[in-house]
Amino acid sequence: MLSKTGVLLVVDVQNDFLPGGALAVPEGDAVIGPVNRLAEIFPHVVLTQDWHPPGHASFASRHPGRQPFDTVTMPYGEQVLWPDHCVQGRPGAALAANLRAERAELVIRKGYHPDIDSYSAFLEADRHTRTGLAGYLTERGLTRLFVAGLATDYCIRWTALDARAAGFDVTVVEDAVRGIDRDGTMRAWAEMERAGVQRASSAAFG
Ligand code: VGL
Ligand code: ZN
């Protein structure tokens, strides 16, 4: 399974998404064990980091009268509003201290445009602005993606769907992801399955 075209894509394992963080994902820290194990054995490892400027358009604090988890309409469509999180250079944006991913060959940051969110590691929320990741992977011949990290119903979902649309072979490592919302996570799995995203347990590797 671990052919040299395989790459582990570790999405947003950052302090703000872990217990005690600004946008804590329930059991978010449970992904770290399997991710660490996979990051040792995969031929290639790439990380993403949610990386917002202060006052980012996805922050509820930027929208008077709105609360986190409200939805607003942005020029590019519907946007869920979040607590301030993963602000560039702040401790909440740092990768989890116990993430053992020093073998990672690339860290791709996303969500840094002040007025555009980006759940996907490939395509920002305007569905037009590209992050460059597809080009990087293609140029290096890394065609089989194994996705882990946070959160199943947002960044994992959008990343996996966009990777499929870009022609990659995609597997989500089910015990190495966690979601924010239970129903949203169920819908995300159904949607990913319809798009041809495969699902595997980390026990299937190495
Ligand atoms: C994420 C909400 C806002 C994620 C990032 O990593 O899934 N979710 N920003
Ligand atoms: Zn974010």
Q: Check pLDDT > 80 for residue 2.
A: no
Instruction: Find where tokens 């990659």 sit.
Output: 168
Atom of ligand 1 nearest to the CA of 52: 9
- List, as ranges, residues with CB under 5 A of the ion ligand 2: 50, 111
Among the bound ligands, the one closest to the CA of 120: 1
CA 195 – ligand 2 centroid, Å: 24
Q: What is the pLDDT of residues 70-82, one digit of tens each?
A: 999 999 999 999 9
Q: Grade residue 148 by pLDDT with cuts at 50, 70 and 90.
A: very high
Instruction: Find where tokens 């005690």 sit.
Output: 20
Whether 86 is a known active-site residue: answer no
Atom of ligand 1 nearest to the CA of 11: 6
Of these residues, 29, 50, 84, 110, which one is catalytic? Answer: 110
Q: What is the pLDDT of residues 23-37, one digit of tens each?
A: 999 999 999 999 999
Classified by CATH at the fold level, domain 6-52+84-205 comes out as Rossmann fold (3.40.50)
Q: Quote the percentage of the chain above a pLDDT of 90.
A: 97
Whether 155 is a known active-site residue: answer yes
Q: Domain limits of the chain?
A: 6-52+84-205
Rounded Cα–Cα distance for residues 27 and 102 (Å): 23
Cβ–Cβ < 8 Å for 96, 32: yes
CB contact set of 102 (below 8 Å; sequence gap of 6+): none
pLDDT number for residue 206 = 83
Q: What is the pLDDT of residues 171-194, one digit of tens each?
A: 999 999 999 999 999 999 999 999
pLDDT number for residue 1 = 55
ipTM of the complex: 0.98
Ligand 1-lining residues (CB < 6 angstroms): 12, 17, 50, 82, 119, 150-151, 154-155
Atom of ligand 1 nearest to the CA of 12: 6
Q: Quote the percentage of the chain above a pLDDT of 70.
A: 100
Is 0.95 surpassed by the pTM of this model?
A: yes
